[in-house]
Amino acid sequence: MSRNSDGTARVTLALRVHDRPVHIDARLPDWPARLDELLPALREVDDRVIDAVVAHVEAGGKRVSCAKGCSACCRAQPVPVTPPEAYALARLVERLPEPSGARVRAGFAANVERLREAGLYETYMQRDPAMTRDEARVIARRYMALKLTCPFLVNDACSIYAERPFTCRQYLVTSPPKLCDAPLDNAVKPVPIPAKFATAMLEVGEALTGRAPYTVPLALSLDYAGVNRMDLEKSGPAKLAFEQVVRRALG
């Protein structure tokens, strides 16, 4: 790892994904950092892994059907984001120029109100650790029935594409896009991605804060970040945290 003139540290990785060489060159904060400050470097790793997986899938004769304009997953699904991602999204919204900022905040507010009316707000904001998979599936159906559109969706395209969450990056399918309108009922064929960054972020976050974190739907990012700001502001050695996340994600 070497230092850059802007005070960041350069990190390089060499991996193999489906026997394909993957080389990553990313930048890390060279100071005690919050987990959300590691996201640009972690996204770089994730993107390169995904590129290799897509190349492998398409070399095998299949084709990833996700493309710009295909936004079914942005219009109903409870896209799960990790606490650092929720905080990063909240900080992004704070930086948006007007009138975009007002439009996005209004979108979040409308979705939160719908979730409150449906009795799902507290269910997601105060996750029951004893919840079973079947119970989670029932709740997901209730969520998707609300047809909540992602506040960042503009003209059927993601307006924060470079900063979208891990779940958005990794949700790729080879089945017809139409099936994603009801993914719990249709034979959707997701592409397996051998990089569990969301899980790894939760595990490292627990070690940093001493509390078991959980994902929340993207629609609740601003509320979650506001309630848990103290934990989300905790920092630690950036290189160590980065290595821990990558090792857990790819291990």
Digit-coded pLDDT (tens) for 150-185: 999 999 999 999 999 999 999 999 999 999 989 999
For residue 127, is it within any domain? yes
For residue 187, is it within any domain? yes
For residue 95, what pLDDT is reported? Answer: 97
For residue 54, is it within any domain? no
For residue 3, what pLDDT is reported? Answer: 64
For residue 245, is it within any domain? yes
User: By residue range, what is the domain housing residue 87?
Assistant: 63-250
Q: 87-117 burial, b for 16+ CB within 10 Å, e for fewer?
A: bbbbebbeebeeeeeeebeebbeebbebbee
Q: Report which residue type is found at 204.
A: V
For residue 121, is it within any domain? yes
User: Helix H segments across 162-233?
Assistant: 166-170, 197-209, 221-227, 229-232
For residue 109, what pLDDT is reported? Answer: 98
Q: 54-82 burial, b for 16+ CB within 10 Å, e for fewer?
A: beebeeeeeeebbeeeebbbbebbbbbbb
Element spanning 81, H or E: strand 80-81
For residue 242, is it within any domain? yes
C-alpha atoms less than 13 angstroms from C-alpha of 250 in its C-beta half-sphere = 19
Given a cut of 60, whether residue 1 has pLDDT beyond it is: no
114-134 per-position pLDDT tens digit = 999 999 999 999 999 899 999
What's the mean pLDDT when you consider all of the chain?
Answer: 94
For residue 55, is it within any domain? no
For residue 32, is it within any domain? no
For residue 185, what pLDDT is reported? Answer: 93
Given a cut of 70, whether residue 4 has pLDDT beyond it is: no
Domain count for the chain: 1
